[in-house]
Structure 1
Amino acid sequence: MKAIILNGSLERRTESTSGRISQYFSEGLEKLGFQAEIFTLADSGIPLFDLSLTKTPLAVERMTQLFLDADVHFWLAPLYHGSIPGVMKNCLDWLEVTARHHPPYLTDKTVGLICWADGLQAIQGINTMDIIAKSLRAWPLPFSVPVIRTALFDHENPTKISSQYAYKFDQLINIAATKRIENSLYPVKPG
C-alpha cells in the first residue's frame, strides 16, 4: 500500500519541524509495510493555480498522480495567521484537474491531519484541512493531531519527537493503516 505525506510547509531542511514530522511519519508507515513518499511543496514546482492554461503543468500532473495513487494521505501544515499556508491551499486547488475523473478528486481517500502552531490555535489549521479534504470527497480521520510546537520535541534530546507527540502520531498512523486495510477488505460499492 502507498502513503503520501504532504509537507505543506516551504521548509526544505530535514531538521525543520516539517522535515522531522514528515520523516517520523515516513518511518512509522514503512514499519507497517507502506511505501511512503514525502511530497515537499518547496521542491514541487507547483505554479499558481490557473485553469485557463491550455496544458496542465508537468509538476501538477506528477503531484496529481502521486495523490491519486496513494491509499493513505497525511497532510502536515504549520499554522500561519489562522490557517494553512497559501502554497498548500494552492497545491490542493490544483486537484481540480481531476474533476472529470471517475471517481473525481480524492474520492474515498483516507486523510490524517496534523498542524502545529506556537500557541494553542493549531486546531484552526486542522479545521481548514478537514473542510478541504471533505470538499475533495476524501475521508479525514476523526482523530487529528494539533501540535503545540514548544512541546513537540524532547527537551533532553531536541532532535527527537517528544513521547507525548510520538504517541499521538503513532495513534494517527495506526488508525489510518487500519482504516485503509478495512476499506480494501470491504470496499464501498458505487450505487
Structure 2
Amino acid sequence: MKAIIFNGSSERRAESASGLISGYFVEQLKSLGIQTDIFNLADSGIPLFDMSLAETPLTVQRMAQRFLDADLHFWLAPLYHGSIPGVMKNCLDWLEITANRYEPYLTDKTVGLVCWAEGLQAMQGINTMDAIAKSLRAWPLPFSVPIIRSSLFHNDNRTMISDFYSEKFDKLISIAATKKIEKQDNKPFII
C-alpha cells in the first residue's frame, strides 16, 4: 500500500507546522508498513492551470502520476482568508489531464483531510478540500482533523505535536489504512 502526503503549504522549513505534520504522518505510516511519498507544493514548480497549452508540463505529468499511484491521500492545508491556498487548488485542478482515462481524476482514492488555522475556522478548509476530493471522484474520510494552530504543539516543545492532535492524526491514519485494506479485500466497510 502506498500513501501520498500532499503538503499544500508554501512553507519550506522542516520546523514549520506543515513540515512537522508531514513528518509525523510519514513516521506513523511507515510504522504500519505503508510506503510514503510527500508532495511538497512549495517545491513542485507546478505552473498556473492552463489546458490550452500544446503540451502538458512535465512537472504536472509527474505530479499527476504520483497522485494516481497512491492508494491513500492525506491532504494538509493551512487556512488562508477562509479557504485553502489557491496554489493547492491550482495543483488539484491540473488533475484534469486525467479526464480521458478509464478511471479519471482520483477515482476511488481514499483521502484524509487536515487543515490548521489561527482560530476556529479550520473546518472551512476541510469543507473546501472535501468538496474538491468528491469532485475528483475520491472518497474523503468522514473523520478529518481541523486544527487550532496554537494547540498543535506541546507548550514546552514547539517541534513536537501535542498529545491531543497526535491522537487525532493516529485515528485518521488508522481509519484510512483500515478502509483501504478492507476495500482491497472487497469487504463492506462501515464507519
Pairing of 1:38-57 with structure 2 (within 5 A): 38-57=38-57
What is the rounded CA distance, in whole Å, between the counterparts of 2:81 and 2:134 in structure 1?
22
CA distance in 2: counterparts of 1:37 and 1:15, whole angstroms: 18
Which position in structure 2 is the counterpart of 1:78?
78
- What is the CA–CA distance in structure 1 between the aligned matches of 2:54 and 2:28, rounded to whole Å? 40
Question: Which residue identity is paired with 1:128?
Answer: T
Within 2, Cα distance between the matches of 1:27 and 1:186?
Answer: 28
What secondary structure does 1:77 align onto?
strand
Task: Give 1:43's aligned amino acid.
Answer: D
Deviation above 6 Å: which 4+ runs of structure 1?
none
**For residues 32 and 84 of structure 1, what CA distance do their matches in structure 2 show?**
29
Tell me the matched-pair count.
Answer: 188
Deviation of 1:10 after TM superposition, in Å, equals 0.4
Other-structure match for 2:35: 35
List alignment gaps of at least 5 residues for structure 1: none
Q: Deviations over 1:129-184 (max 9, x none)?
A: 00000000000000000000000000022210000000000000000000110111
The aligned residue for residue 66 of structure 2 is 66
| Alignment-derived partner of residue 116 in structure 1 | 116
Residue number in structure 2 paired with 1:92 = 92
Q: 2:89 is aligned with what amino acid?
A: K
Q: 2:101 — aligned with what?
A: 101
Q: CA deviation at 1:187?
A: 7.5
Letter in structure 1 aligned against 2:82: G
Equivalent position SS for 1:74: strand
**Structure 2: gaps of 5 or more residues:** none
TM-score (norm 2): 0.97
Paired residue secondary structure (1:115): strand
The one-character-per-residue Cα deviations of 1:21-59 (angstroms, maximum 9, x if unpaired) are 001001110111111111000110100000000111000
Distance 1:33 1:109 in 2: 19
Q: Counterpart of 1:36 in structure 2: which amino acid? A: T
1:45 and 1:157 map into 2 onto residues whose CA distance is: 33
Q: Distance in 2 between matches of 1:2 and 1:56?
A: 25
Number of the residue aligned with 2:174: 174
Match of 1:141 in 2: 141
- Paired letter, 1:38: I
What letter corresponds to residue 93 of structure 1 in structure 2?
Answer: D
The percent identity for this pair of structures is: 72
